[in-house]
Amino acid sequence: MSRSLQHEVTLLELVDRVLNKGVVLSGDITLSVADVDLVYVGLRVLLSSVATLEEQAQLAAGGAQR
């Protein structure tokens, strides 16, 4: 996987953790649900693009070996 993609995935994983994991000590929610949903959509789009790119890379590598 390319360095920039790895970086992007890592960033999205980070956002996912900060917004959706972690201990909840009640308190007032200050985030809208839409914000959190956007993060999930971003993750999903990105992962499928990673899968596609990897596939292309494997095809290219396989072609070179043959």
Partner 1 sequence: MIHVYGLVDELAELPPTRGLDDAPLERRWIEGLEVVLSRAETPPSAEVSREAVLRHAQVVEELMARSGAVLPAQLGRAFRDEAELAAALQEQAAQLVRGLERVRGCVEFGLRAVGEPGVEPEATTGAEYMRARLEQVRRQDALVAALHEPLAGLARESTLHRDAADEVRAAYLVPRDAISAFRETAERVAASPGLTVVCTGPWPPYSFAAAER
Nearer to partner 1, 4 or 32 (CB): 32
Instruction: Kindly state the tokens that stand for 32.
Output: 């809208």
Nearer to partner 1, 27 or 63 (CB): 27
Angle at 59 (CA atoms; ends 58, 63), nearest 5 degrees: 115
Note the residues at the interface with partner 1 (CB under 8 A): 1, 6, 9-10, 13-15, 17-32, 35-36, 47-48, 50-51, 54-55
Instruction: Report the C-alpha gap between 54 and 51 in whole angstroms.
Output: 5
Cβ–Cβ < 8 Å for 13, 62:
no
Least separation in angstroms between CB 29 and partner 1: 6
Nearer to partner 1, 32 or 65 (CB): 32
